[in-house]
């Protein structure tokens, strides 16, 4: 099953990429490591947000289908 990245997930990924680019320009390895860890966190947030958003969309779809079925009965 392939999960499409939600808009919110895309924003998290964009932030992660920005953090990684900043980390690559750092001469202080401690700060670079912290930025990389923060980027990893944002990548996890992107995945979680996409899962949550997909679940919400599915729930809306089911609710909508149930409403249409009730109308037909």
pLDDT at 44 over 80: yes
The domain limits of the chain are 7-72
Mean pLDDT, to the nearest integer, of 45-61?
90
pLDDT of residue 25: 95
Q: What is the pLDDT of residue 31?
A: 96
List, in order, residues 6 or more apart from 3 with CB less than 8 Å away.
50, 51, 54
- For residue 19, name the pLDDT band (cuts at 50, 70, 90): very high
Rg of the chain's alpha carbons, rounded to an integer? 19
Torsion, Cα of 24, 25, 29, 35 (10° steps):
-60
Judged against a pLDDT cut of 60, whether residue 59 lies above it is answered with: yes
């Amino acid at each position: 099953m392939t999960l499409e990245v939600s808009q919110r997930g895309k924003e998290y990924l964009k932030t992660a990429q920005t953090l990684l680019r900043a980390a690559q320009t750092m001469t202080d390895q401690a700060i670079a490591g912290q930025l990389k860890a923060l980027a990893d966190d944002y990548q996890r947030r992107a995945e979680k947000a996409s899962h949550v958003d997909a679940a919400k969309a599915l729930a809306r779809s089911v609710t909508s289908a149930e409403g249409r079925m009730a109308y037909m009965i």
